[in-house]
Structure 1
Amino acid sequence: MNVFDRYAPFVQDFIYRNNWESLRAIQAAAGDVIFNTDDNLLLTASTASGKTEAAFFPILTLFSEDMPKSVGAIYIGPLKALINDQFSRLNDLCEDAGIPVWHWHGDVAQSHKARMMKNPSGILQITPESLEAMLIRRHSALVKLFGDLRFIVIDELHSLMRGDRGGQTLCLIERLCRQAGVNPRRIGLSATIGDPKAAGEFLSYGTGRRTSVPKIEAKGTKWRLSMEHFYISSVQASDGKPEQKALPVLEQATDKAPENADPGMGYIFEHTRGKKCLVFVNSREECEAVTTTLRSYCEAKHERDRFLIHHGNLSTSYRETAEAAMKDDDVQMTTVTTATLELGIDIGRLERAFQIDAPFTVSSFLQRMGRTGRRDLPPEMWFVIREDMPEPRTMLPSTVPWKLLQGIALVQVYLEERWVEPPRLERLPFSLLYHQTMSTLASCGELTPAQLAQRVLTLKYFHRISPDDYKILLRHLIEIDHIQRTDEGGLIVGLAGERIVNNFRFYAVFQENEEYTVRCESQELGTLVMPPPVGEKIAIAGQVWIVTELDHKRHLVFCEPVKGKVPAYFGDCPGDINTKILTRMKQVLCEDKTYPYLMKNAAARLSQARFSARNSGVVCENLINLGGDMWALFPWLGTYSFFALERFLNVRCREKLRMRGLDSCRPYFIQFTMAADEYTFFSTLREEACRPIDPMELVYPKEVPIFEKYDEYLPAELVRKGFAYGVLDIDGMLTAVNSWCDRFFGDKKQIPCL
């Protein structure tokens, strides 16, 4: 029996109503695994390939044959908007079969939730944060709610594989299944998985099942891709050069931006009239600034406002207004957005996407490109790369068009190798360990230390955390009254802990957008969200500053003015750039290859950069003398290896080489003054790289590098250990250092390891 014949009649009718002439390959493969095996399933295929239907057609068929006595399937989505979208789609499918679909997140009415609690059945669509709240608040009802749970579908799996939110999701699933006494099959959906085998193992954590990963041959899809570069000033890289023939993707401008407009913003303004578009940016602050600029152009031209905004900090009504407008094929508006519209929400007949500057990952590029190309249109993205024109006396490293190189590299590694970032699974998630410890106590009540450790440390995601480290955590939490010891020797949530757990913000493990006031001595400079650690740089009030002190309790940042540019963001969100991308960026400078998607200004700017790089030696040397005792190091390393290199130089090499003023633009280059010569530099690097390195050695004295949401409640020694062993990529850094030395000396034997 083929998969279509195995489907329930109401599923077949749904397919007929939608005029589908045949099943897609992914639907046939998913049906085969779900119907004929007991495996978990990972479905990886391009955006709009029908992954959701591929998973739910066979699930609903099985339900129609033997209806679950509780909620039968949980769908976990990373965004409220995605759940709202899927709720509408699944309702259409399930209505005729009488299978209820429930959605559950902070914006859903209590009356809807109450009906589900009274009659748990069908499919529950929920965010990780709402599932956390359910486990805490409705612990005693879990058997009734999920006693016959058979499937858990995790959408956009890739978005949960690079930080604590994915770990939280797995922990919640494992805790729920233990409490309800079930072991449902797991189905992961994603368009951008870089390592399917590792993702399959991640999906199966704690289930005792293998994960089937069907290989789906993707049909060839033509992209409509362009990349243009703009100096924010009026003079452009191609000025005075012969006109380059435009690609077919670019039509003549349909309207004009106001005079003296920012050229990049004007370019977007000119090419969005009468079209439905998305403009992707890399931060919420930039989202606000771009939207304000584009709306001001409408006002200056006496036109109606045709720009919407969408990001995670907006109110529900603002977000839903933008989502509804984008789904309406008769509304021709453009939405400026962050990653909140990056994931699999169906936003209708979208004509093109813009990307301001380069995203940080191939995965993000593919997801954003995938918002277009639906309903028989080709995927279409226009990169708009912007930079300030370098001043005549600007040092070499700052004249390199890093954003342009990054954009080209992201595109090329996928076109050439179909490469996407692999998951980061070997971390030490102490912040999440705190969160799940407090959540477990809040839901279960009093537990002995042994019972608590058994419930938390046995969660598969914490397999790298030792019992000794857990004891250190529990002792610390008792000391700060987040946990209290009872007269009987048990553990409960303490008074200080109750203030944390009883706040609705506790359910999320990602950082809340709390504002910090920035001060230089007595002068208030403004506010920012998620300040970087001491020693990092920030940009505010039109100047660059270095952070000298953080006061998390009073939300204060103290800083001093410095010269230079602000480095890329650091963490599991923006700024997490893989070494593969940096390596390909270097190759972009080295090769003579032309890229057909580069437009006139971008091609001219790349030509300038290649000429400058070859003349300066950047393409063949890692260490460049900038004049006198000023040097620049070009490591071509990803964020975490680069971070380890900075510390290796500071801790191991700084005094020997008499290096001063190390100034990083992460992860692109490091500038410094040095009394030593090039030979001594590489000799010292080789000597120090040959000596064993304890990762804790690279954490500065008295430094407590707080990055995750709950790090501030951890003992300092665990924060330091988590950073040293779970963040710093020392192996990647040492591999690079040794290769530089080999190339410089030509023969490893010339400089012995001491």
Structure 2
Amino acid sequence: MDVFAHYAPFIQDYIYRQGWQQLRPIQVAAAEEIFGTDHNVLLSASTAAGKTEAAFFPILTELSESGAKDSVNCLYIAPLKALINDQYSRLTELTEDSDIPVWRWHGDVAATQKRKMLKHPSGVLQITPESLESFMINKHMGIPHLFHGLRFVVIDELHSFLRSDRGGQTFCLIERLSRLAGVKPRRIGLSATIGNLREAAKFLGAGSGHRTVAPKVKNTRQVWRLSMEHFYQTDPQAASKDFDPAAPIEPKTDTAPEMADPGIGYIFEHTRGKKSLVFTNSREECEAVCQMLRSYSAARHEPDRFLIHHGNLSPAFRATAEDAMKDDDSYMTTCATATLELGIDIGKLEQAFQIDAPFTVSGFLQRMGRTGRRGNPPEMHFVMREEHPESRAMLPDLIPWPLLQGIALVQLYLEERWVEPPEPNRLPYSLLYHQTMSTLASGGEMSPAELAGRVLPLNYFHNVSQNDYRVLLRHLVKTDQIQQTERGDLIVGMAGERVVNNFKFYAVFQENEEFSVHAGSEELGTIVKPPPVGDKIAIAGRVWVVEDIDRQRHQVYCHGVKGRIPAYFGDVPGDIHPKILERMRQVLAESQMYPYLMKNAQARLTQARDTANIAGLPKKQLINLGGKMWCLFPWTGSYAFLALERLLRIKCAKRLNLRGFNSARPYFMEFAMDANAEEFFQVLKEEAAKDFDPLELLYPKEVPVFDKYDEYLPDDLVRKEFAQSILDIDEMKRCVARMGDRLHEKTKK
């Protein structure tokens, strides 16, 4: 196909103005599919490969030739308002010589623009999932008129929707809107970080009525500028000639306290005169790092050159950072969380720093992809920081877990091009509640059968049984979330009105809310998103156990850890896939030195390998720490680790007399027991091999609230979702079987 000749004249003129000599491979492949078939199309190519143009050149051409003039023809869904604003500018420029309007719809768009779109629906509508949810509830009656000519739905940054209820919400909304408007739009997914194209394409197309294809294109060979350095938070460093891991660390007296962190000092020096991003893994760490970097500027009597960007900041603060990033003459550095991980055009960014390791290969690739635009190679520098271990520290505390994790993420992609796959088979009861209430709020009074007929067929709920839905509806009627009329029909109840009529209802992800932490009469500080009662938190330099949570007053009550206390997963920093832990184990076992490691990181990895080798790691997974104290290294993912932890505590504890249990998920577990290693593995293998109900791995009366709307669900469904969707029992059993196989091989020898 002569793709260029198929494009509308205004698209051809745009290409001429840009001075392009030829189309990119992804643009040719996309055009052939969009022009020549009725398929859904997944466009996966490296950052800055031209995916947006690849999708919109043919889409806009199609709309210019046969798009309905009184309907939205293309719906563009993106995870961030900032990404919509950025793409709005690009699409507006692209369509300026056509009669195809581009509209934005999110919380920061003026009401006058929204009214104008409602009066003259047409062209391309850009929207976030949350604004689309609001649209479905508040503009329900207008959906058939507004979208009767909808032909395309473009989902940008598709990877960000593959492993969360937010993605489930997005695809539920697309299905509901399509059904209401009587249309079957084609879906076009865009992403730079898809690992398994087949699984992602299946996820993209589910319930669409169209076949989904993912054209494979040969990307140009990409060179990375990648480094990974390690720093102890006080000198000496691992590569120092006088470094002695066993020696006590004397505090330095010749360095000002605010300049005493070598890792942050390294970032400070290497961002001078360069436009940079510094990624952290949490909002709290982002704030702390930015404050330290600014204190360095003050101590050096230099101008403040540091900005900050995260989800809890006001739109004005975020916009300031985004504008500075887009300014090619600016040499500011922005400290950020995942809010700048996605595809916002932030201009000629020279380099990115990552403090410690992200939790996913996808996150690493997205952050790396922020750089390397406009002809330069992607450039990222990992900075791994840890405190010197105490002189009496035990084996697990001598292993540099973030360093191993960072190496594993990089190697998995370099060696296998592996990225985390979608998670399509959960029991998403929290989202089921949300979409039930949304459907009822938008559609008004309806019979239970009609409500079930609108919600249960949504593809994302394919694992939910009719019986489970009956249990949910009865509970919602009982708790006045839903009210039953005299005719037996259902409407939103008084308690449900309070939930649905709050603007926060449009989002299925948890908002950050601070809770003050109290132990007796003492206030310890604040935390975000407290874990359930019984879980541990770290604050004020100690570990505490949550006794009670007052969600209305935003207060948490706790006491110091004593005895055996069931520990729950809580608000994990990231769901780490089993494959990453398996690769971390290989990093510890192999002898090769990776070319991107700098001298301190090389020295620290060598020390860790020597320490592990002396202890028998990683071949041995159960290490005696002295006396009856043991440490288990499962080398499996977060949710399989959690299942294994519960199997040990609930099924094996009595047989082994386990006590003093402590976990650092998903890396290791420490405990005391009366058994030896052979007896431990024998009991563990026997218990894991049994055909038990996953609910048996919950503690008595435990209701592990995990997702945003779990508090409105019946306890039985919360327990069932946790047991069957959160706990990865199948992977846990495979993990135990591998342990048993290795033990059996050792015994035979």
Please give the residue correspondences for 1:561-600 in structure 2 after superposition, counting only pairs within 5 Å: 561-562=560-561, 574-600=573-599
Name the structure 2 match of 1:238: 239
Name the structure 1 match of 2:108: 107
C-alpha distance in 1 between matches for 2:176 and 2:488: 24
C-alpha distance in 2 between matches for 1:241 and 1:361: 36
After superposition, what is the alpha-carbon deviation per residue over 1:451-472, rounded to whole angstroms, capped at 9, x for unaligned?
Answer: 1000011111101001111111
Name the structure 2 match of 1:27: 27
The alpha carbon displacement at 1:534 in A equals: 3.1
What amino acid sits opposite 1:46 in the alignment? Answer: S
- Relative to structure 1, is the Cα distance of residues 575 and 468 closer, same or farther in structure 2, using a 3 angstrom cutoff? same
- Relative to structure 1, is the Cα distance of residues 35 and 712 closer, same or farther in structure 2, using a 3 angstrom cutoff? same
- CA RMSD across the alignment: 1.9
2:19 aligns to what SS in structure 1? coil
Name the structure 1 match of 2:718: 719
Name the structure 2 match of 1:345: 344
Name the structure 2 match of 1:249: none
C-alpha distance in 2 between matches for 1:719 and 1:162: 19
Q: Which moved more, 1:418-427 or 1:521-530?
A: 521-530
Name the structure 2 match of 1:155: 156
The alpha carbon displacement at 1:570 in A equals: 5.4
After superposition, what is the alpha-carbon deviation per residue over 1:298-344, rounded to whole angstroms, capped at 9, x for unaligned?
Answer: 12222211001111111111111111110010111000000000001
C-alpha distance in 2 between matches for 1:287 and 1:503: 29
Please give the residue correspondences for 1:43-442 in structure 2 after superposition, counting only pairs within 5 Å: 43-69=43-69, 70-240=71-241, 260-442=259-441
The alpha carbon displacement at 1:563 in A equals: 9.3
What amino acid sits opposite 1:24 in the alignment? Answer: R
After superposition, what is the alpha-carbon deviation per residue over 1:401-447, rounded to whole angstroms, capped at 9, x for unaligned?
Answer: 00000001100111111111111111100000000010011101101
What amino acid sits opposite 2:148 in the alignment? Answer: G
C-alpha distance in 2 between matches for 1:142 and 1:546: 49
The alpha carbon displacement at 1:569 in A equals: 11
The alpha carbon displacement at 1:728 in A equals: 0.8
The alpha carbon displacement at 1:259 in A equals: 7.1
Are the equivalent residues in 1 in contact too, given 2:278–2:335 (CA < 8 A)?
yes
Please give the residue correspondences for 1:480-519 in structure 2 after superposition, counting only pairs within 5 Å: 480-519=479-518
C-alpha distance in 1 between matches for 2:126 and 2:665: 39
Work out whether 1:688 is the aligned partner of 2:704.
no
Identical aligned pairs, as a percentage? 65
Q: Which moved more, 1:735-744 or 1:714-723?
A: 735-744
Are the equivalent residues in 2 in contact too, given 1:633–1:671 (CA < 8 A)?
yes
1:114 aligns to what SS in structure 2? helix
C-alpha distance in 1 between matches for 2:306 and 2:626: 48
- Relative to structure 1, is the Cα distance of residues 573 and 116 closer, same or farther in structure 2, using a 3 angstrom cutoff? farther
Name the structure 1 match of 2:249: none
What amino acid sits opposite 1:660 in the alignment? Answer: R
Count residues with an aligned counterpart: 735
Are the equivalent residues in 2 in contact too, given 1:257–1:266 (CA < 8 A)?
no
The alpha carbon displacement at 1:205 in A equals: 1.6
C-alpha distance in 1 between matches for 2:86 and 2:572: 24
1:746 aligns to what SS in structure 2? helix
Are the equivalent residues in 2 in contact too, given 1:544–1:563 (CA < 8 A)?
no
Q: Which moved more, 1:91-100 or 1:201-210?
A: 201-210
Are the equivalent residues in 2 in contact too, given 1:568–1:575 (CA < 8 A)?
no
After superposition, what is the alpha-carbon deviation per residue over 1:94-134, rounded to whole angstroms, capped at 9, x for unaligned?
Answer: 11112110011111111111110110001000000000000
TM-score (norm: length of structure 1)? 0.95
After superposition, what is the alpha-carbon deviation per residue over 1:502-521, rounded to whole angstroms, capped at 9, x for unaligned?
Answer: 11000000001122222223
The alpha carbon displacement at 1:258 in A equals: 8.3
- Relative to structure 1, is the Cα distance of residues 417 and 571 closer, same or farther in structure 2, using a 3 angstrom cutoff? farther
The alpha carbon displacement at 1:747 in A equals: 8.1
The alpha carbon displacement at 1:558 in A equals: 2.4
C-alpha distance in 2 between matches for 1:73 and 1:232: 52
Are the equivalent residues in 1 in contact too, given 2:516–2:527 (CA < 8 A)?
yes
What amino acid sits opposite 1:398 in the alignment? Answer: D
Name the structure 2 match of 1:621: 620
C-alpha distance in 1 between matches for 2:12 and 2:77: 25
Are the equivalent residues in 2 in contact too, given 1:570–1:576 (CA < 8 A)?
no
Are the equivalent residues in 1 in contact too, given 2:632–2:670 (CA < 8 A)?
yes
Are the equivalent residues in 2 in contact too, given 1:194–1:423 (CA < 8 A)?
no
The alpha carbon displacement at 1:182 in A equals: 0.6
The alpha carbon displacement at 1:743 in A equals: 1.1
C-alpha distance in 2 between matches for 1:555 and 1:742: 49
Structure 1: unaligned runs, 5 residues or longer: 243-255
- Relative to structure 1, is the Cα distance of residues 670 and 508 closer, same or farther in structure 2, using a 3 angstrom cutoff? same
What amino acid sits opposite 2:726 in the alignment? Answer: V
C-alpha distance in 2 between matches for 1:463 and 1:271: 51
C-alpha distance in 2 between matches for 1:260 and 1:514: 31
Are the equivalent residues in 2 in contact too, given 1:568–1:665 (CA < 8 A)?
no
Q: Which moved more, 1:569-578 or 1:657-666?
A: 569-578
The alpha carbon displacement at 1:553 in A equals: 4.5
C-alpha distance in 2 between matches for 1:724 and 1:506: 26
Name the structure 2 match of 1:248: none
C-alpha distance in 2 between matches for 1:159 and 1:201: 15
| Poorly superposed stretches of 4+, deviation over 6 Å | 256-259, 747-750
Structure 2: unaligned runs, 5 residues or longer: 244-254
Name the structure 2 match of 1:247: none
Are the equivalent residues in 1 in contact too, given 2:447–2:490 (CA < 8 A)?
yes
Q: Which moved more, 1:271-280 or 1:64-73?
A: 64-73
C-alpha distance in 2 between matches for 1:171 and 1:322: 33
What amino acid sits opposite 2:722 in the alignment? Answer: F
2:231 aligns to what SS in structure 1? strand
C-alpha distance in 2 between matches for 1:749 and 1:434: 53
C-alpha distance in 2 between matches for 1:510 and 1:385: 29
C-alpha distance in 2 between matches for 1:239 and 1:434: 57
What amino acid sits opposite 2:272 in the alignment? Answer: R
What amino acid sits opposite 2:179 in the alignment? Answer: R
2:623 aligns to what SS in structure 1? strand
- Relative to structure 1, is the Cα distance of residues 207 and 489 closer, same or farther in structure 2, using a 3 angstrom cutoff? same
Name the structure 1 match of 2:732: 733
After superposition, what is the alpha-carbon deviation per residue over 1:78-99, rounded to whole angstroms, capped at 9, x for unaligned?
Answer: 0011000000000000111121
Name the structure 2 match of 1:708: 707
Q: Which moved more, 1:52-61 or 1:534-543?
A: 534-543
Are the equivalent residues in 1 in contact too, given 2:623–2:632 (CA < 8 A)?
yes
Work out whether 1:524 is the aligned partner of 2:523.
yes
Are the equivalent residues in 2 in contact too, given 1:641–1:730 (CA < 8 A)?
yes
Name the structure 2 match of 1:453: 452
C-alpha distance in 2 between matches for 1:386 and 1:267: 11
Are the equivalent residues in 2 in contact too, given 1:258–1:297 (CA < 8 A)?
no
- Relative to structure 1, is the Cα distance of residues 259 and 696 closer, same or farther in structure 2, using a 3 angstrom cutoff? closer
Name the structure 1 match of 2:248: none
After superposition, what is the alpha-carbon deviation per residue over 1:245-276, rounded to whole angstroms, capped at 9, x for unaligned?
Answer: xxxxxxxxxxx998743111111101111110
- Relative to structure 1, is the Cα distance of residues 572 and 455 closer, same or farther in structure 2, using a 3 angstrom cutoff? farther
Are the equivalent residues in 1 in contact too, given 2:258–2:295 (CA < 8 A)?
no
Work out whether 1:666 is the aligned partner of 2:665.
yes
Name the structure 2 match of 1:251: none
C-alpha distance in 1 between matches for 2:684 and 2:19: 65
- Relative to structure 1, is the Cα distance of residues 259 and 682 closer, same or farther in structure 2, using a 3 angstrom cutoff? closer
Are the equivalent residues in 2 in contact too, given 1:257–1:270 (CA < 8 A)?
no
What amino acid sits opposite 1:209 in the alignment? Answer: H
What amino acid sits opposite 1:205 in the alignment? Answer: A
The alpha carbon displacement at 1:571 in A equals: 7.5
What amino acid sits opposite 2:181 in the alignment? Answer: A
Are the equivalent residues in 2 in contact too, given 1:568–1:667 (CA < 8 A)?
no
The alpha carbon displacement at 1:568 in A equals: 13
The alpha carbon displacement at 1:580 in A equals: 0.7
What amino acid sits opposite 2:55 in the alignment? Answer: A
Work out whether 1:36 is the aligned partner of 2:20.
no
After superposition, what is the alpha-carbon deviation per residue over 1:32-54, rounded to whole angstroms, capped at 9, x for unaligned?
Answer: 00000000000011111110100
